[in-house]
Amino acid sequence: MRWLALCVAALTGHAAVNARLLRIPRATGTERRVSVLLPVRDEVHRVLPCLEALLRNDFLELLVLDDGSTDGTAEVVRRVCAGDPRARLITGRPLPAGWLGKPHACQQLADAARGDVLVFVDADVLLAPHAVAATAGLLDELDLVSPYPRQDAPGATRLVQPLLQWSWLTFLPLRLAERSPRPSLSAANGQLLAVRREAYDRAGGHGAVRDEVVEDVALLRAVKRAGGTGGVADGTDLATTRMYDSWDELVAGYTKSAWTVPAPVTALLALLYVAPAVAGLRGSRAGRIAYAAGVLGRVITARRTGGRVWPDAFTHPVGVATLCWLTGRSRLARRRGTLAWKGRAL
């Protein structure tokens, strides 16, 4: 158990170093021609505030692709964008064989875009007025950048959602990862993702990741394979997102994609962050030290990314155990062939 405590302490120290190295987008002007690209499918309850926030930004054009919505999403988009000459609604084409829905929608948007910077945004994201320019400015040094939005996680979803930022701050050497071609050293978030047009085309665009459930990370890997660079940045002051409004929505969302987490990674997480807490409850001093180091790592992450410290950081082992359970549930659903999202089989 002592070596587990040492490993957790070392990883927490690594998270502290990453928290200082994390790129912070600045609200500077850009001469780049920026196309903002928003794919939507049955987002009538989210798209209005997203669009209102987007239209307060400065960019060349806003393209919104309606991917077969049946809930009135397209009507909301038309109404909101009617008075802004920069905005245009595109009706998505039928999904071809071999493609998943989001990559297909994003590729159609990219094909229609005129900008030399493509900024992909999800409908559950609210951008600050300087977000697009600040994000595009990061492309002076990178080919692809993904400023991670602050996660608004209500209720029980707080057990899992803060683990997103914690995972890459803890395990990923950020500056090395930006230039490393190794697939394992890749983190990205399609909720807010910007890429240079030439790097996107050189990598094959979303056509190169047409069947990927986690298409954002796959796109970064494709860019790196083509000789590009990229990674995550601090999006705390640029964007806020609420991916899931309830526990049931979170379970459905993670069931869709958590199977992509390798089994050895899941086992390692349980070994480092769940087992010591159990041992600590049984009286192990080393287990309690490991638990405390894990909590400190969550505190560092929360303070750096706008998350909550209390009580979220102190329930860290429960959150990791929940993530492991969701991963197992997702693998089982994939084995049974029951994976689906928004009415489409995966």
64 & 202 share domain = yes
- Number of structural domains found in the chain: 2
pLDDT at residue 343 greater than cutoff 80 = no
**Percentage of the chain exceeding pLDDT 90:** 90
Can you name the residues that pair with 90 across neighbouring β-strands? 65
Select from 57, 41, 247 the least CA-distant residue to 154: 247
Which of 208, 241, 274 terminates a domain? The answer is: 241
28 & 158 share domain = yes
What is the rounded average pLDDT for all residues in the chain? 94
Helix, strand, or coil (residue 237): strand
Tokens representing 130 are 């300087």
175 & 317 share domain = no
8 & 30 share domain = no
228 & 90 share domain = yes
Which residues form the domain of 112?
22-241
CATH number at residue 122: 3.90.550.10
Mean pLDDT score, 2-7? 90
170 & 196 share domain = yes
32 & 105 share domain = yes
Model confidence over 101-130: pLDDT tens digits? 999 999 999 999 999 999 999 999 999 999
pLDDT at residue 261 greater than cutoff 70 = yes
pLDDT at residue 226 greater than cutoff 90 = yes
279 & 225 share domain = no
Model confidence over 201-212: pLDDT tens digits? 999 999 999 999
Helix, strand, or coil (residue 126): strand
pLDDT at residue 29 greater than cutoff 70 = no
Cβ atoms < 10 Å from Cβ of 311: 8
209 & 162 share domain = yes
pTM, to two decimals:
0.93
Residue 289's pLDDT is what? 95
48 & 164 share domain = yes
pLDDT at residue 320 greater than cutoff 90 = yes
Residue 208's pLDDT is what? 97
Select from 205, 204, 170 the least CA-distant residue to 187: 170
Residue 342's pLDDT is what? 72
234 & 311 share domain = no
Residue type, 237: D
Residue type, 310: W
202 & 333 share domain = no
Tokens representing 306 are 């706008």
Mean pLDDT score, 307-328? 94
pLDDT at residue 345 greater than cutoff 80 = no
